[in-house]
Every structure is written in structure tokens, then in C-alpha cells.
């Protein structure tokens, strides 16, 4: 195997994935996997591309995530995908453990850490041991969903949710 060829293939797969040309990207990722040219980033991106092409992660995507974590147990994207897969499988206990692993890696004041904290609260609520009431969790979920129907449901519940949102500096010019 020529390392230069596999590097070019990896760059092509990434480019296709970013352009949302998933079928083509998946073909290239499969070739890279067959050539044993995958690293943790490529495995996580392979899982992400597969999940995006299917409208959600599946068991095969989860296998790719496992490969990424085998190579790098602290791979943030792979942990994020694993937690998402576990939530989709209603394995809230495992998801909570995954979110906690991810939270330990992320900068505490980052926007990602805040999202993970919310994910942990959601998992705890699903396990029935959250300090927040289910009604408050529904309102919070509705606020994040930001759809008219969700907003109506939140308003009808007579529960008030207040807070502020701080954007990471790199996003301020895009909003």
C-alpha cells in the first residue's frame, strides 16, 4: 500500500463527507478500511458519514465508533457518537457513563461541555434519578427544539425556564 495514495483517499473521503456526498464517501472509507489505512479520526468520520446517510447511527456505525475508540479511547467525536448511539438504543446508563468520559476531556467552560452537561441531565432523567423534574426537562427540551409546536407545549405547561446563551467567539459572526 502506498501511504501517499491512502492519504489522498482519506482527504477525498473527508471532502466528500463534508459536501454531504455520503455514498461516495462511504465507498472511499470502505476502501481505506480494506487497506488497513484507518486511524481514529477516519473511523469516527466513517461512522458519522454512515449515520448521516441513513438518518441515524446503526449497529455498523457503532462498530466503526468502537474501532475509533480502540485506537484512541479519548477520541471526542467517537465518544460523542457512542453516547448518541446509546441514547438511541435507550441505554441511558451507558450513555451517561460515555457523556461523563467526554465531559472529563472537554474544557469545562466550552460550549460542547455545556451540551454534554445537558445530555447527562437528560440521561439521568431517563434513568429516573435526576434532580430536575420531568416537566422541567420537557420544557428545556422544547426550548432547545425551538419549534412552534414545542414552544406552545412549553408555554402550556406553566413552567418557566430562564437562562442566557453565550456563543463561542468563532460562531458570533455567523449568527
Q: What is the pLDDT of residues 22-31, one digit of tens each?
A: 899 999 999 9
Whether 139 has a pLDDT exceeding 70, the answer reads no
Higher pLDDT, 138 or 113: 113
The residue ranges of DSSP E strands in the chain, in sequence order, are none
- What's the chain's Rg over C-alpha atoms? 19
The full DSSP string for 18-31 is HTT-HHHHHHHHHH
Name the phi and psi angles at 25, rounded to 5. -60, -45
Greatest alpha-carbon pair distance for the chain in Å reads 63
Higher pLDDT, 68 or 127: 68
End-to-end CA distance of the chain: 45
Whether 47 has a pLDDT exceeding 50, the answer reads yes
Q: Give the percent of the chain with pLDDT over 90.
A: 49
pLDDT in the model for residue 144: 47
pLDDT in the model for residue 166: 62
Whether 159 has a pLDDT exceeding 90, the answer reads no
Q: How far apart are CA 105 and CA 156, in angstroms?
A: 38
**0.75 surpassed by pTM:** no
Q: How far apart are CA 3 and CA 124, in angstroms?
A: 45
User: Can you tell me the mean pLDDT for 89-96?
Assistant: 92
Q: How far apart are CA 156 and CA 102, in angstroms?
A: 35
pLDDT in the model for residue 148: 45
Q: What is the pLDDT of residues 31-41, one digit of tens each?
A: 999 889 899 99
Residue 175 grid cell:
449568527
Q: Exposed, middle or buried by CB within 10 Å (0-12, 13-18, 19+), for 42?
A: buried
Amino acid at each position: 500500500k502506498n501511504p501517499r495514495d491512502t492519504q489522498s483517499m482519506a482527504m477525498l473521503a473527508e471532502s466528500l463527507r463534508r459536501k454531504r456526498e455520503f455514498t461516495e464517501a462511504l465507498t472511499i472509507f470502505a476502501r481505506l478500511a480494506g487497506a488497513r489505512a484507518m486511524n481514529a479520526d477516519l473511523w469516527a468520520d466513517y461512522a458519522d458519514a454512515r449515520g448521516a446517510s441513513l438518518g441515524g447511527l446503526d449497529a455498523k456505525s457503532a462498530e466503526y465508533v468502537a474501532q475509533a475508540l480502540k485506537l484512541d479511547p479519548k477520541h471526542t467525536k467517537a465518544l460523542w457518537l457512542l453516547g448518541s448511539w446509546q441514547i438511541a438504543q435507550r441505554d441511558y446508563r451507558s450513555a451517561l457513563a460515555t457523556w461523563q468520559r467526554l465531559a472529563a476531556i472537554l474544557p469545562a467552560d466550552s460550549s460542547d461541555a455545556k451540551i454534554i452537561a445537558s445530555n447527562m441531565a437528560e440521561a439521568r432523567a431517563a434513568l429516573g434519578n435526576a434532580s430536575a423534574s420531568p416537566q422541567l426537562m420537557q420544557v428545556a427540551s422544547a426550548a432547545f427544539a425551538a419549534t412552534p409546536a414545542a414552544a406552545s407545549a412549553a408555554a402550556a405547561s406553566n413552567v418557566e425556564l430562564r437562562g442566557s446563551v453565550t456563543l463561542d467567539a468563532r460562531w458570533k459572526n455567523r449568527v
